[in-house]
Structures are given as C-alpha cells and as structure tokens.
C-alpha cells in the first residue's frame, strides 16, 4: 500500500473520501467490513503475506449498483465474492469493504479506491467496464494492493489483472431454450434488449451466441436487437422490451443488461424470456425460461487464495482470467417449468460438447437439434459462419474464431440478427 505520512492521515483521507463520494456505502455490519484498524499491519511490521493470518486479509469491492440488489449484475458479483470469501476462510461481515452505486466516472472510481486503500484492503475488485482507466492508474499508485477488474482488457505484470469468461457459451444454451419456445408458440420473432451492440465484442458475441443457439432449434428464428446504449438503466430496459413486444411482435425476450426489467415486462405482456446474470424466475414466474448466469465465486476464490498466499506471484499464478463452462464460471440457471420438454436434452448435448472442447459456438460447424424429449439428437453440419450481410467469417468445417476476436474485435452480427434502433 502506498506509504502515507501517518496512520492518522490515512484514516482522515478515507473518511473524507467517503463523505465526498455519492455512492459511498454506509457499511452495514451484515455485508461490509469493520472499520476497526487494530487488526491492520502497520508500516513497520515484519509480517509477510505468506505468514499473514486470513483474519487480517481484507477484500475491497466497487459496485456499479447496490450490494442489496436481489437479482442481476451486481447481485451476481456480490454473491460470488461473499461465497468465495467463505471458501477461503474469510468472513464477509468483517473482512469485506464495499463502495456501491459508483458510476463509471474516473474521479468517482478513484475516490472509491482511495477509500478502500485507506480501509487497508489487500485486493480490490472493480466490477464494471468503465472502471478500467481509474484502476489502471491507481494500480501504479498502490503497488502493494492487487487490483482485479471485470470485463476489461488492461493489466500490468505486477498487481493489475482482468477477468471475464465465455458467457457466449451460456448464451448459446439459453438461445436453445428460446428457440424451442419460438417453435412451440409458432412465433419466429425473438427480441433481445442489449446494453450495447457491435461497439463491444462482449455484447456482440453474446448476441451472436444466443442467435446461433436459437437457430440450432428453429432455423427461421429472427433475433431483433434493441440497444439501450447504457449498461444499466431500468427504465430504458423496460421501454426496449415493450417496443420489441409491441412493435416487433417478439414472443421471447433475451437480454444483456443489468436488471430483471425485460423479464418483468415479458411476464406482464404474456410472452416468455431468457434473463441474465442470475435466475430471474422469481421476478417473472410465468415468463422466464432460464438465464445465462455467472458463477463468479469460481474466479473470486482463485484470486483471493492467490493474493492471500503470495501477492507477488499473483500475476504469474492467476494472470488475465478467461474461462467458461469447463471451469464452472458460466452456465444456465435451472430450467423453469415454462421451458419446452426437449430443452433440457438439447442443452445437455451442447454443453457436453463445449465442456469437452470438441466443439464451440463460432466455428464452421453448426448444431441442428431434432427429436422429442428423451430422444433429442444433434447433427453437426459443416456450414460457414456468416454475418447478417452474407460475409463469410469462418469457412464450412473451419475451426472457431480465436479468443482475441470473441473478446476484442467481433463487431458483426451473424445471420438472423437485426438491430432495430
């Protein structure tokens, strides 16, 4: 941690940052760490990271929304962090320090980091893409703290990494559920509320994965994407879902946005939907099929254990983390009773192929499902991966596009996808 003139100044700065930061957590005892400094290692201590007891290890987290959310993006991260802490012997009630409701504003993020540094955090997780520049800068300022950033691409070789996963695999599985429902309802139109479109490979690859999953069941499926141009705005999420249902007559609503609002609208309108980040069946009991979900504890436990053991080897042991179904980082939520009977069989087939590494989504081999529940089969067809404008990206039978494309440069929609705004 950056050496300050004295411990008194550290405390004063942290308190000042808290009052100046609009998203500062009030640290409820059930979810955030104690402000008691008696357990902190002082500048003159000889204690090392390898001998440091778990009780003195502090985890910091910066959230885009509230730690008290009951579903969605921040909820999934908070759940993953608290579960991981228990796995590695930490107590979220006293070892976790949170600053929530922090917008993607560099100065606000820097203030949050300074506050957590003042609290004595050994590792700081920033869960939103727009935190990237502030975390990159502060990693240099605080070389003794591990900085770990979700969904980004920046890192250094000492104390700053990024982490994400193959969520497109889970979206493909959710797309299968949407495809079966579109067949059952005889409505080929499927809507998709997305924070962004082709501007970010993260959203673009997710949309494409979902579309390819839906069309593996229903080749006539049409995916209509409504881009809201923000990661999280519940009113815009509602409005987009309403437009997709009312104007484009979509019978299933998928999403890449933070809250359950698209699923709630689907429930209100009598259609169906596939959520994101967490199981949204409780919010939309008559509509929700399944959700592409994150099991963030798979990463958080790995990161915390490495930082607790030897922070100096964190980057060599953990590095920039990118895993998928095979590591349990992504999955689909339990299928609801709203799903068609064949859905579970088809999802299992596709999931097994991806976990084994014998097939992946963006290749020149496409799956085609047929058969009734209990006898579902998947034919693997050599078929070029093409954009919705007919441009060939992978020849028939070709291997999947590389991770650098999926993570960084995928800026095209596949066949069957149309952006409507």
Report long-range pairs for 229-236 (Cβ below 8 Å, ≥24 apart).
229/195, 229/196, 230/195, 231/64, 231/73, 231/104, 231/128, 231/129, 231/130, 231/195, 231/196, 231/257, 231/258, 232/64, 232/65, 232/73, 232/195, 232/257, 232/258, 232/259, 234/258, 234/259, 234/261
Tokens describing residue 186: 């005889």
Taking 50 as the threshold, does the pLDDT of residue 334 lie above it?
Answer: yes
Question: Which pLDDT value is given to residue 269?
Answer: 98
State the residue for tokens 């009052």: 19
Decide if 207 contacts 256 (C-beta within 8 A).
yes
Question: Which pLDDT value is given to residue 83?
Answer: 98
| pTM exceeds 0.75 for this model | yes
pLDDT tens for residues 251-284?
A: 999 999 999 999 999 999 999 999 999 999 999 9
| CA gap 217, 341 in Å, rounded | 13
Residue at 313 is within a domain:
no
Mark whether 186 and 286 lie in a shared domain: yes
At 226, the pLDDT band (50, 70, 90 cuts) reads very high
Q: Is 69 helix (H, G, I), strand (E, B) or coil?
A: coil
Taking 80 as the threshold, does the pLDDT of residue 51 lie above it?
Answer: no
Tokens describing residue 383: 């078929």
Backbone angles phi, psi at 165, to 5 degrees: -155, 175
Backbone angles phi, psi at 380, to 5 degrees: -95, 115
Mark whether 269 and 123 lie in a shared domain: no
Decide if 196 contacts 203 (C-beta within 8 A).
yes
Backbone angles phi, psi at 23, to 5 degrees: -95, 15
Domain endpoint, select from 140, 165, 190: 165
Taking 70 as the threshold, does the pLDDT of residue 362 lie above it?
Answer: yes
Mark whether 192 and 135 lie in a shared domain: no
Mark whether 140 and 284 lie in a shared domain: no
Beta bridge partners of 206: none
Taking 60 as the threshold, does the pLDDT of residue 44 lie above it?
Answer: no
29, with CB counted inside 10 A (0-12, 13-18, 19+), is: exposed
Decide if 198 contacts 389 (C-beta within 8 A).
no
Decide if 104 contacts 66 (C-beta within 8 A).
no
Q: For residue 106, what is the enclosing H or E element?
A: helix 106-118
Mark whether 237 and 143 lie in a shared domain: no
State the residue for tokens 């100096």: 312
Residue at 78 is within a domain:
yes
Taking 70 as the threshold, does the pLDDT of residue 351 lie above it?
Answer: yes
Gyration radius of the chain's alpha carbons: 22
Question: Which pLDDT value is given to residue 8?
Answer: 33
Mark whether 174 and 266 lie in a shared domain: yes
Taking 60 as the threshold, does the pLDDT of residue 325 lie above it?
Answer: yes
Taking 60 as the threshold, does the pLDDT of residue 35 lie above it?
Answer: no
pLDDT tens for residues 276-316?
A: 999 999 999 999 999 999 999 999 999 999 999 999 999 99
Decide if 398 contacts 364 (C-beta within 8 A).
yes
Domain endpoint, select from 165, 196, 221: 165
Among 303, 334, 304, CA closest to 319: 303
Among 240, 289, 251, 272, CA closest to 419: 240
Residue at 310 is within a domain:
no
pLDDT tens for residues 231-253?
A: 889 999 999 999 999 999 999 99
Q: How many CA atoms lie within 13 A of 196 on its CB side?
A: 14
Going by their DSSP bridges, the two strands 365-370 and 377-382 should be labelled as antiparallel
Question: Which pLDDT value is given to residue 231?
Answer: 86
Tokens describing residue 413: 């929609």
Q: How many structural domains are present in the chain?
A: 2
Tell me, what CATH number does 346's domain have?
3.40.50.2300
Cβ of 52: how many Cβ atoms within 10 Å?
16
Residue at 323 is within a domain:
no
| CA gap 48, 56 in Å, rounded | 11
Question: Which pLDDT value is given to residue 21?
Answer: 38
Mark whether 158 and 228 lie in a shared domain: no
| Range of the structural domain that residue 38 is part of | 7-165
């Amino acid at each position: 941690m950056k050496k300050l003139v004295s411990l008194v100044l550290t405390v004063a700065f942290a308190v000042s940052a808290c009052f100046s930061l609009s998203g500062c957590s009030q640290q409820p005892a059930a979810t955030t760490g104690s402000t008691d400094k008696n357990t902190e290692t002082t500048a003159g201590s000889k204690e090392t990271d390898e001998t440091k007891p778990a009780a003195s290890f502090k985890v910091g987290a910066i959230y885009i929304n509230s730690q008290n959310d009951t579903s969605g993006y921040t909820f999934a991260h908070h759940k993953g962090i608290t579960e991981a802490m228990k796995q590695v012997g930490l107590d979220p009630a006293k070892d976790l320090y949170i600053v929530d409701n922090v917008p993607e504003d560099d100065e606000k993020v820097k203030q949050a980091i300074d506050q957590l540094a003042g609290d004595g955090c050994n590792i700081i997780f920033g869960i939103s893409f727009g935190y990237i520049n502030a975390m990159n800068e502060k990693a240099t300022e605080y070389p003794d703290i591990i900085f770990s950033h979700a969904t980004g691409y920046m890192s250094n070789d000492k104390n700053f990494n990024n982490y994400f996963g193959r969520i497109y695999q889970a979206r493909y599985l959710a797309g299968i559920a949407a495809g079966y429902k579109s067949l059952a309802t005889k409505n080929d139109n499927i809507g998709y509320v997305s924070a962004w479109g082709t501007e970010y490979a993260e959203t673009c690859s997710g949309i494409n994965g979902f579309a390819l999953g839906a069309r593996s069941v229903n080749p006539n499926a049409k995916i209509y994407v409504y881009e809201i141009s923000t990661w999280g705005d519940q009113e815009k999420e509602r409005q987009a879902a309403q437009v997709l249902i009312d104007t484009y007559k979509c019978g299933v609503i998928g999403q890449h946005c933070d809250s359950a609002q698209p699923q709630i609208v689907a429930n209100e309108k009598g259609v169906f939907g596939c959520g994101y980040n967490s199981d949204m069946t409780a919010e939309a009991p008559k509509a929700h099929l399944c959700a592409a979900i994150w099991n963030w504890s798979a990463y958080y436990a790995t990161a915390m254990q490495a930082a607790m053991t030897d922070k100096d080897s964190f980057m060599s042991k953990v590095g920039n983390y990118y895993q998928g179904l095979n590591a349990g980082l992504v999955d689909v939520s339990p299928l609801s009773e709203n799903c068609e009977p064949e859905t579970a069989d088809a999802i299992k087939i596709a999931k097994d192929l991806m976990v084994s590494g014998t097939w992946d989504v963006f290749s020149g081999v496409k799956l085609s499902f047929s058969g009734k529940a209990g006898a579902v089969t998947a034919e693997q067809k050599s078929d070029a991966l093409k954009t919705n404008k007919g441009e060939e990206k992978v020849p028939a039978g070709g291997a999947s596009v590389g991770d650098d494309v999926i993570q960084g440069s995928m800026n095209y929609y596949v066949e069957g996808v149309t952006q409507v705004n």
